[in-house]
């Protein structure tokens, strides 16, 4: 799962590079990045859910909880990316 966590960092780094563009492009880039982060976390969570389907009892419950946490983390990170882009746009 460490790989998936680090995979979420790459779109954030790309966002930082794209913030040098004009304001409307900044927000579009942030939205794309946020959507990519959310999609990656959903894909990782789906993979965990798939593994949980093959497990039973406490192991399945633990995997399902992990999948929920991965989804929530991705959504939170995507929201933060969008909020930061909005703040940056308002600052200009």
Q: What CA–CA distances, in Å, run from 76 to 32, 72, 82, 83?
A: 15, 6, 10, 10
* Cβ atoms of residues 4 and 41 within 8 Å: yes
Q: Give backbone dihedrals phi and psi of 76, rounded to 5 degrees, phi first.
A: -65, -45
Q: Which domain holds residue 54?
A: 2-91
**Model pLDDT for residues 15-38, shown as the tens digit of each residue:** 565 555 555 788 899 999 999 999
What total number of domains does the chain contain? Answer: 1
* Chain Cα centroid distance, residue 32: 11
Q: Is the pTM of this model over 0.85?
A: no
Give me the pLDDT at residue 34, please: 97
């Amino acid at each position: 799962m460490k790989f998936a966590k680090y995979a979420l960092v790459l779109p954030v780094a790309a966002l930082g590079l794209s913030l040098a563009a004009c304001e409307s492009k900044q927000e579009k880039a942030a939205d794309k990045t946020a959507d990519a982060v959310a999609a990656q976390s959903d894909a990782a969570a789906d993979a965990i859910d798939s593994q949980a389907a093959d497990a039973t009892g406490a192991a399945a419950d633990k995997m399902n909880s992990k999948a929920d946490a991965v989804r929530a983390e991705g959504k939170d990170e995507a929201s933060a990316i969008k909020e930061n882009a909005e703040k940056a746009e308002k600052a200009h």
